[in-house]
Amino acid sequence: MTEGEAEFSLPLRVYIEDTDAGGIVYYVNYLKYMERARTEFMRARGFGKDYIFNSDLMFVVRDAAVRYRRPARLDDELVATAALARLRGAAMVFRQSVRRGDTLLAEGDITVACVDRAGLGARRLPAEVVQALATGGGAPG
């Protein structure tokens, strides 16, 4: 997937632990749904836990701008999406959404920074990550 191409989609269901006493999804859980979609987006491109745990880097959320549009409810079937909006130096910006059918429930721009595992300082995205994300391929063998 190159920047601006089609969204990666992850189907989800709302469980009781996702909701408040009224059966409405608690706002922070939309961020969790988006995290799952980004994680699976990266895993599909070869950058799952094995890559991360065997590298001297980590990916951390630097900024999250989320707009809540409509509520989700207990037992709803949802789809969380992730699309790469921009790659730059030490960061990736994802455009994300959570939908129920055609209804947009939440949308946001999430900036994920690449940091050095030891010192947690910003570092450039590795070339293999940039190449795989820019071309839609996976991590090198």
pTM, to two decimals? 0.89
Cα-Cα-Cα-Cα dihedral sign, residues 60, 66, 72, 77: negative
Q: Is residue 97 part of a domain?
A: yes
Q: Is residue 98 part of a domain?
A: yes
Average pLDDT over residues 10-29: 97
Q: Is residue 141 part of a domain?
A: no
Q: Give a three-class secondary structure readout of 80-126.
A: EEEEEEEEECCEEEEEEEEEECCEEEEEEEEEEEEEECCCCCECCCC
Task: Find the catalytic residue in 20, 50, 56, 116.
Answer: 20
Q: Is residue 18 part of a domain?
A: yes
What is the number of structural domains in the chain?
1
109 classed as catalytic: no
Q: Is residue 85 part of a domain?
A: yes
Q: Model confidence over 88-122: pLDDT tens digits?
A: 999 999 999 999 999 999 999 999 999 999 999 99
The CATH number given to whatever domain includes residue 30 is 3.10.129.10
Domain span including residue 53 = 8-127
